[in-house]
Amino acid sequence: MDNLADKLKKYRLSKDEYARIESVLGRAPQGVEWALFSALWSEHCSYKSSRVHLKKFAFNSPRVLQAMGENAGVIDIGHGEKVAFKMESHNHPSFIEPYQGAATGVGGILRDIFTMGARPIALANFLCFGRPEAPRMPQLVEGVVAGISGYGNCVGVPTITGQTEFHDSYNNNILVNALAVGLFCEGDPVVTSVAKGNGNYVVYVGAKTGRDGVHGASMASESFASDSESKRPTVQIGDPFFEKLLIESCLDVMKQDLVVAIQDMGAAGLTSSSFEMAAKGGVGFKIHLDRVPLRDTSVGPEEILLSESQERMLLICEPAKFEAVKKVFHHWGLDASVLGEVYDGPEVELYWKGDLICKMDPKILTDNAPVYNRPYQKWAPKKQTAELKAKDLNLIDVLSSVEGTSRRWIYQQYDQRVGAKTARDCDDSVSVQRLPSGRGFGLVLGCRPHVMRVDAQVGGYDSGFYPALELAAKGFRPLAMTDCLNFGNPEKEEIMSEFVAAVEALAETAKILDSPVISGNVSFYNETLNQNITSTPSTGLVGLRESVENIPRSHFTHKGDAIYLWRLPQVELVGDQLGRTPQFKGAIDAQKAARFVDAVRVAVQNPSINSSRVNGKFGLGYTLARMCTETLGAAVDAVAGGFWTERLYEVVLAGPESVMEPLQKAASTCGSELVKIGTVTEGTLQLGPQKHSLNELNKAYNTGWSQNFAQLA
Amino acid sequence: MKKIGVLRFLGTNCDRDVWQAVEDVGLKPEWLWYEDQFQVADYSAYVVPGGFSYGDYLRCGALAAKAPVMKSLGEAAAKGYPVLGICNGFQILCETKLLPGALVRNEKRKFVDRWVSLNPQTQTKWNAKARAVIKLPVAHGEGRYYAETEELKALWDQEQVWMTYVENPNGALEDIAGVCNKQKNVCGLMPHPERAMADWMGGADGRVIMESLLG
């Protein structure tokens, strides 16, 4: 039996799962079958702990063309344009080897997009790091940012927005979530991964296969022990130059209608791509593993199946079109090799040098994967208080803290403009691209970990509402979202309870905003030595507006503008930053919040509104400071609730006095209120009795990074 | 109307943006593929776009400099056709010796993306009209202009320094952002004019460069 225990450990399967394999096969697994079950039944590929809850995201919307189950979701945005987008985690590899982990995270998410037939037009990233003083942290920050920059810049897709958080719960388990957006123009086909057509070729294109990333999917499905360094060989190596060639050649063959189906070889490599494509089409494959182009001839069949070598795709094409396919790839300097063919099936047959080494119905692997309804508790708010108690913060301390300082050091390393579509870049709270139709496409990330730490249910709502309000404050209608659910160990009831609370709140938000979750991923086991990360359901929201003209700025633009505060206070909270005690009171009324979002969106279409910003972390004091420029400040008298608690939800607007009346009217239609709180001035920021020179503020905000990361500056 | 030749290498990624910019000023672009040579008289001007040709393997622009298309481009340059290299295109022109000097790793060893202001120092075929400060974005990891002291002096003496940065983003010697050949038909520039063609992009000063093609 020792032998079996060792095997289960090697393939990261439980005893119960082994019993299930025996029952679905009617016998014990043999040879490469072990590897297949290990990969496809891993948490990463099967979503076995989350599947029951992810169903809560499902709802019909006529604009959704592809949702969960495909490589990425696709929505129709009218005018002949469609967009595909998705966010995915690369947390574990990035902690082990930050440069390659982050780089291949970008590469992987881009392949999910162009495999649908969409040209990638934007990247974004959601990063959570530990405290600057935590071991390896400066190197992790430097490596992750360099990896994203090195890959994204070279492949020629701009990184246009991002969010970066710091907290000690990420000290031993950082989060690297990459989002990509692709655009289909009029006439571009949406291609799926549904294999079909008896006799069609199964074709391998892209980079050669090596040993990198073998067992990567099951590694990502396990908590870290202290030996994470020893897992370095499971991290893949990326080559963005190859990816660029793959983008051009794949889009080319799709546009010429030369392929039936296509999928990238991502997690669990050839195994998941071939078995999933066959299962979706209800067909079988005959695949000769010895025809897979190898970097080195000593790589064996099991490693070929599990390799996560990057920049590879599997496609299905009609035999008569293969020469044309090959010609396109050759033009771009790439090879295409026929591995085998599609047949009625239902089994996938794997051959190695003429011998049949595995024959299995792919549905056994994809449809029979275990599903766990892990124990959880119905959500009960713990930090709810009758009255908030928190002392005021010092603005200069906030602006120079790692939580509050400028992220320019990070995004200055990203090419934000390649593609020539960027209208608002990482400097702004919402990034904007101009579509060929002339309309504005807005992208913003969501999830605020400090709110999650206050309450997972409030945090779940906030992961949808906050970014939706940010879009609305710039005049964008939110259309759809993607998510990346980063959580700890789902086998622990308190983690699973947070997961369920956050998912249910986010699902309700998506429904009420009519912004369906069309793609995403779940990353469990973000746990090291029993310490779990802050539950972090990061999101990416996309929105649309009619043009890129007259979008309110995120900073003040005119001396003398009146400053308005538009508020729908539902929850008041104090975060745990700068040593404060997390607490909150109130509850989110999703219906009311959604009406507020819509009213804001409509009201800011008024071209006289010069500036807008959603009040966020720390409170109004920080938000107003972020709206100051080198020359323009503000004079703001006392505000009800003060400058240093957060209220969900509030928007700060600036414009001439003439905008007040229409704004107040709009506010009254959704049960909210709008008050004038101050005026845009020159030279200083005055918050109640406190007055700061702009020089002092800008210095704190612009040098905070180098104070926290002296060795990186 | 004569066409504008836009060169494409494996890994070029600003090609489509340059194409769009050429169209924006009312001219007709055409691709020139790296493996092919062309008739120089078929085009009125040439642009070598930026990106990461050959993934920057070996050295930025080094592999592209050996591609067959560069033989024809050399011929066009010698005949006085306007040639503009942007970012990686500038690196390629330096590697082929169509332009003097070299572009090396940024002083801070990091990629830099930001808007910069530029002072045109001399008139060339690519800025016949502009002498005032223009604002364009840079995005590069290896854009620090370098030349030996004597070569630098000669560049100034012969009015081959085309543009300088008002605020140096990469440690370029003498703030040099762009240079030209002695005949002033071949120019190289690190900033990207094709990314500054309209106010919604953050500025429209790139039109000054692209509109020079209109003659």
Among residues A219, A195, A180, which one has the least CA distance to residue A11? A219
Q: What per-residue confidence (pLDDT) applies to A686?
A: 98
Q: Which 8-state DSSP code applies to residue B198?
A: B
Q: What per-residue confidence (pLDDT) applies to A124?
A: 98
Distance CA A129, CA A176 (A): 9
Distance CA B87, CA A13 (A): 51
CA–CA min distance B177, chain A (Å): 18
CA distances from A310 to A66, A201, A246 (A): 25, 22, 11
Distance CA A580, CA B64 (A): 57
Q: Name residues whose C-beta falls within 8 Å of residue A556's C-beta, 6 or more positions apart in sequence.
A: A610, A611, A627, A628, A629, A632, A633, A634, A654, A680
Distance CA A688, CA B195 (A): 43
> Which of A244, A411, A416 lies at the smallest CB-CB distance from B13?
A244
Number of Cβ within 10 Å of residue B128's Cβ equals: 14
Is A288 known to be catalytic? no
Q: How confident is the model at residue A68 (pLDDT cuts 50, 70, 90)?
A: confident
For domain B3-214, the question of CATH label 3.30.1330.10 is answered with no
Is residue B194 within 8 Å of residue B206, measured between CB atoms? yes
CA–CA min distance B166, chain A (Å): 18
Answer whether residue A271 shows pLDDT above 50: yes
Q: What per-residue confidence (pLDDT) applies to A229?
A: 53
Among residues A93, A85, A89, A150, which one has the least CA distance to residue A123? A85
CA–CA min distance A107, chain B (Å): 14
Q: What per-residue confidence (pLDDT) applies to A454?
A: 96
Q: What percent of chain A has pLDDT over 70?
A: 97
How confident is the model over A280-306, as pLDDT tens digits? 999 999 999 999 999 888 888 888 988
| Prediction pTM value | 0.95
Q: What per-residue confidence (pLDDT) applies to B130?
A: 64
Residue that is written with structure tokens 């700890």 in the block: A488
What interhelical angle do A2-10 and A15-25 show, nearest 10?
90
Among residues B162, B158, B110, B160, which one has the least CA distance to residue B138? B110
Chain A residues with CB-CB distance to B56 below 8 A: 154, 241
Residue A346: is the preceding peptide bond cis (ω within 30°)?
Answer: yes
Is residue B6 within 8 Å of residue B22, measured between CB atoms? yes
Number of Cβ within 10 Å of residue A367's Cβ equals: 10
For the beta sheet containing B134-140, the strands, ordered from the edge strand earlier in sequence to the opposite edge, are B28-33, B3-8, B43-48, B83-86, B186-189, B176-180, B161-165, B112-120, B134-140
In degrees, rounded to 5, the angle at the alpha carbon of residue A622 between the alpha carbons of residues A620 and A627 is: 95
What interhelical angle do A269-281 and A33-40 show, nearest 10?
80
Supply A480's token pair: 């759809």
- What is the H or E stretch that residue A22 is in? helix A15-25
Strands (E), B2-51: 3-8, 28-33, 43-48
How confident is the model over A502-515, as pLDDT tens digits? 999 999 999 999 99
Phi first, then psi, for residue B180 (nearest 5°) are -140, 170
Supply A238's token pair: 């990326």
Is B11's CB within 8 Å of A241's CB? yes
Distance CA B50, CA B138 (A): 11
Q: How confident is the model at residue A100 (pLDDT cuts 50, 70, 90)?
A: very high
Answer whether residue A231 shows pLDDT above 60: no
Residues of B belonging to the active site: 87, 192, 194
**Stretch B1-29: mean pLDDT:** 95
Q: How confident is the model at residue A138 (pLDDT cuts 50, 70, 90)?
A: very high
**Stretch B193-206: mean pLDDT:** 97
Q: Name residues whose C-beta falls within 8 Å of residue A274's C-beta, 6 or more positions apart in sequence.
A: A202, A285, A287, A314, A348, A362
Q: What per-residue confidence (pLDDT) applies to B213?
A: 87
Q: Which 8-state DSSP code applies to residue A28?
A: -
Chain center to CA of A647: 26
How confident is the model over A379-430, as pLDDT tens digits? 998 889 999 988 899 999 999 999 999 999 999 999 999 999 999 999 999 9
Answer whether residue A217 shows pLDDT above 70: no
Of A218-222, A358-362, A654-658, the one with minimum mean pLDDT is A218-222
CA–CA min distance A703, chain B (Å): 17
Q: How confident is the model at residue A2 (pLDDT cuts 50, 70, 90)?
A: low
Distance CA A168, CA B176 (A): 44
Number of Cβ within 10 Å of residue A74's Cβ equals: 27
Q: Which amino acid is at A309?
A: S
How confident is the model over A26-38, as pLDDT tens digits? 999 988 888 889 8
Is A417's CB within 8 Å of B114's CB? no
Supply A123's token pair: 């990247």
- What is the H or E stretch that residue B89 is in? helix B88-95
Q: How confident is the model at residue A226 (pLDDT cuts 50, 70, 90)?
A: low
How confident is the model over A232-267, as pLDDT tens digits? 556 778 899 999 999 999 999 999 999 999 999 977
How confident is the model over B119-154, as pLDDT tens digits? 999 999 998 766 689 999 999 999 999 999 999 999
Is B111's CB within 8 Å of A156's CB? no
Q: What per-residue confidence (pLDDT) applies to A80?
A: 96
How confident is the model over A337-387, as pLDDT tens digits? 999 999 998 999 999 999 999 999 999 888 888 999 999 999 998 889 999
Chain A residues with CB-CB distance to B16 below 8 A: 419-420
Chain B residues with CB-CB distance to A114 below 8 A: none
Which has the higher per-residue pLDDT, A132 or A302? A132
The one catalytic residue in A53, A79, A90, A288 is A90
How confident is the model over A160-194, as pLDDT tens digits? 999 999 999 999 999 999 999 999 999 999 999 99
How confident is the model over A543-590, as pLDDT tens digits? 999 999 999 999 999 999 999 999 998 999 999 999 999 999 999 999
Environment class of A134 (CB within 10 Å of its CB; exposed 0-12, middle 13-18, buried 19+): middle
Q: Per-residue DSSP letters for B47-68?
A: EE--B-GGGG-SSTTTTGGGST
Q: What per-residue confidence (pLDDT) applies to A1?
A: 47
Residues belonging to chain A with any Cβ–Cβ distance to chain B shorter than 8 Å: 146, 149-150, 153-156, 239-242, 244-245, 332-333, 411-420, 422-423, 425, 434, 548-549
Among residues A577, A607, A175, A622, which one has the least CA distance to residue A429? A622
Q: What percent of chain A has pLDDT over 90?
A: 83
